Amino acid sequence: MTNGRPPILERDLQDQVLDLARLLGWRVAHFRAARTAHGWRTPVSADGAGFPDLVLIRGRRLVVAELKRSVKNRPTPNQLDWLAAFRAAGVEVYVWTCDDDTESIAQVLR
């Protein structure tokens, strides 16, 4: 516990961002992992490993976001490669953590 509150989990952050995005009129894609005999896996093919957690689009804006539990949890090399590729294509790229306050994320999505 921090500050007398239980820590926010990454899935809680994701739920908050999804709710906020929908409220502000964004279309959002998220590819959910599934439990397998080998643990949690997200089914992907081709170059999908490391694909960002969220892809958001509204009007002419395209945003991709990688979500992490805390600033101590860094994106993997595959995730960094995807974020760099999107950034090079002119897409807005963010890494949001549970340490970020909701208002700063809301400012991005307004």
Query: Along the 110 residues of the chain, how does pLDDT read in single tens digits?
Result: 455 666 788 899 999 999 999 999 999 999 877 777 887 777 777 788 899 999 999 999 999 999 999 888 999 999 999 999 999 999 999 999 999 988 999 999 99
Q: Which two tokens stand for residue 82?
A: 């995807």
Confirm if 84 and 77 have CB atoms less than 8 A apart: no
Distances (CA, A) of 45 to 23, 35, 42, 50, 68: 32, 17, 10, 11, 23
Task: Give CA–CA dist 7/70, Å, rounded.
Answer: 10
- Three-state DSSP class for residue 24: coil
Strand partners, 95: 66
Length of the chain: 110
